[in-house]
Structure 1
Amino acid sequence: MATRDAAGPAMAAYGRGVMVGNWLEDQHEQEELLRDFVSKREKGQLLIQRLAKLEENVLKKVQLSVSIDGLVHFGDTVMVMNPDTKSLEVKQDEARGDLTLAADMEEISLYSDDPPQISRGLSAVKSVDPVGRNSFCIVSADGSAVGEPLRFGQNFLLGTTGGISDKMFYLGSDHKTFIAYAKKSRLQQVFLTGEDSYLTCWRAAFLDPQLRLEYEGFPVPANTKILITHCYTNRNLAIPRNFCLWSYFGKECEVVCHNYLDSHKVEEYKNYWEIITGNPGDEGGTMIDRPKPHPEGYKKNESLP
């Protein structure tokens, strides 16, 4: 029968303090981890620092351009919104509310040493507050000067604002292929690219098909339902509303290029868009936040005739 030494109970529990085993390697490993942590903290490369910087840039409030004449101009900073509809045609699995275009972030960029970058992805978010990721700039494609009104049928580009990246990315699309298509709906995809070409050209069309040709060449009104058509593929920008994506910012909707037509060959609400500008009032915000006029006008004010 084995006998126990008097010092046995004291020597039974081993730890790093008694320096038995690979204590030197463990100590060097801990020192290396501490040095790496201090180095990343000084360079601002910690994940919590990168997330704070991402939130500061991508979710930073953006001041939209104010349209005095109610028109869309080249150089304006705007939001592109798919308005909500009260129609009974909306299915139960479709997202409700106003949706705005927004840029996605590169998934691996948060964990790499490079600064966070936007990806080629694009999604639609329910937020209608103008921030860095859902604000775009109206860019001329034919050399029109900044400040000139955008006209129906005129080519233009949608570029990201400076809150996302120092380089401007443009909204683009291309024909669907066996390897290039939208992930969920498998329709024609919409993406962001750093090169401006005919793949990034769009044009605005009047909503009523019977008056569409009549309005060719007229200025595009802001905060009014229009169609946005891709010039190369002749397909309309759309949100199916029943295909959802998950990103760093939560559940969002997929954006595609597809012509959703009803039985009368007329575009549906999935193809409706509004170019939202800033509110000229003292309360600020967007034109969505602007108080609506009273439906009865001045009838309740007895001092007015």
Structure 2
Amino acid sequence: MGQRTYNPSVLLHNWFEDLTLDQDVIKDFIAKKERGELLIQKMGSYKEILLDKTELAKSCDGYVHFGDAVILINPGTVDKNAANIHPFRHPMSLTMNVDQSRFLTSTKIDSPCEVSGSLELGPTIRNTFVISSVDGSCDGDPLRYGQSFALRTLEGVAGQLYLTSDIKLFLKFARKSRMQLVNLTDQLSFLSCWQVLYLDPQMRLEYDGYPVQANVKVLISHTRTNQALAALPKYSFWTAFGREYEITANTFYDSHRAEEDLNHWVIVTGDPGVPHGTLFQAPQPICKDENSKEKHPRASPDYSTQQPTC
């Protein structure tokens, strides 16, 4: 009485079939692991690929040129002592926000792809963009204030996508702020055209048509909607790379009708002396004459035919 008749070692029903299926599952798991096809392995590979270091263009004359590989950084609030006037904000770079599930089924980034602001400021595949021509300008020609251009991701795994925006629609807007959407698409069109504007609105017309200086604060304006690219630290979300921030196209004005620092960007080039280095927050290049007096940009040489040389 009370003695157990059956225990787990007793073979009942289709025991051999169940045992064979379990062994097949284990064999399939081992085979996928050896081929690197497990989801956790793909996720690790996905992050390593997108975080590969890149080399930015080395600006020999201090200007931005077509064909240059650059990163766009919103410098944030640099002066911590001004936190009582403006909340302190860390610098952030414009970067691709890749959907993990879509990347696992493809060998490159598919269109459309979201963008975000990342606190990672080093040059990687995620945040490196190429200054591309839309008006027939050749690689090596200087980009000029007020001239339309396109921002393209790198070739290969980055998908060669273009930074694009359009007017806000009822079902098309930024998911957090509900402002004008900015994303990456594989079609080069008028919606992919941007312009660099001089930061000081009182001197903006004076600089129009002159080469864009690298590593200084500028505005990136969307050609069609005339809205400036903005980084919004107020709206954040989690990604596979940590907490990142929303990027939108919307011009924010202060009480003096000047663009706020949310719209300020630095087109960052590479540091010739440091591998994978950048010249972020480098001093503004100044042209001097023979008597070591500062020159107005209008007195700078004509770069329409001059090629950069190191």
Q: Which residue of 2 aligns with 1:90?
A: 86
> For the residues of structure 2 that align with 1:153 and 1:288, how far apart are their CA atoms?
23
Q: Which amino acid aligns with 2:204?
A: R
Q: Do structure 1's residue 152 and structure 2's residue 145 form an aligned pair?
A: yes
Q: Give the letter aligned to residue 13 of structure 1.
A: N
Point out where structure 2 has 5 or more consecutive residues left out of the alignment: 285-310
Q: Matched residues in 2 for 1:225 and 1:192: separation?
A: 23
Q: What's the RMSD between the two structures over aligned residues? A: 2.2
Indicate if the aligned counterparts of 2:215 and 2:269 stay in contact, CA closer than 8 A.
yes
Q: Are 1:174 and 1:190, in contact at CA under 8 Å, matched by a contact in 2?
A: yes
Q: 1:261 to 1:53 in 2, by over 3 A?
A: same
Aligned mates of 1:57, 1:291 — CA distance in 2: 32
Q: Is contact 2:162-2:188 (8 Å) kept? A: yes
- Shift in alpha-carbon separation, 1:180–1:45, aligned structure 2, 3 A: same
Which letter does structure 1 place at the counterpart of 2:8? Answer: Y
SS for the counterpart of 2:123 is: coil
Q: Structure 2: which amino acid aligns with 1:158?
A: L
TM-score w.r.t. structure 1 length?
A: 0.84
* Structure 1 stretches of 4+ moved >4 Å: 289-292
How far 1:289 moved relative to its partner? 7.8
**Distance in 1 separating the partners of 2:46 and 2:251:** 35
Per mean C-alpha deviation after superposition, the further-off stretch among 128-137 and 100-109 is 100-109
SS state at 2:96 partner: strand
Counterpart for residue 137 of structure 1: 130
The alpha carbon displacement at 1:163 in A equals 6.2
Amino acid at match of 1:14: P
Q: Using a 3 Å threshold, how does the CA distance of structure 1 residues 281 and 107 change in structure 2: closer, same or farther?
A: closer
Q: Does 1:104 align with 2:97?
A: yes
Distance 2:259 2:38 in 1: 48
Relative to 1, partners in 2 of residues 1:229 and 1:127: Cα closer, same or farther, differing over 3 Å?
Answer: same
Corresponding position: 1:262 with 2:254? yes
2:274, 2:126 → 1: CA distance?
A: 25
Aligned-partner residue type, residue 217 of structure 1: G
Change (3 A) 1:204 1:113: closer
Question: Match for 1:120 among 113, 125, 129?
Answer: 113
Match of 1:50 among 42, 45, 60: 42
* Range with bigger deviation, 151-160 or 276-285: 276-285
The CA deviation at 1:52 is: 3.0
Tell me the TM-score normalized by structure 2. 0.83
Once the 2 structures are TM-superposed, how far is the Cα of residue 214 of structure 1 from its aligned partner? 1.1
> CA separation of 1:113/1:243 partners in 2, compared to 1, >3 Å: closer, same or farther?
closer
Aligned CA distance change for structure 1 residues 248 and 224 (closer, same or farther; 3 Å): same
Structure exhibiting the larger radius of gyration computed from Cα positions? 1
Superposed, 1:195-206 pairs within 5 Å as 195-206=187-198
**Percent of aligned pairs with the same amino acid:** 40
Of residues 68, 74, 78, the one that matches 1:76 is 68
Q: CA deviation at 1:104?
A: 1.2
Residue 126 of structure 1 aligns with an amino acid whose one-letter code is L
Give the 3-state SS of the residue equivalent to 2:131 in structure 1: strand
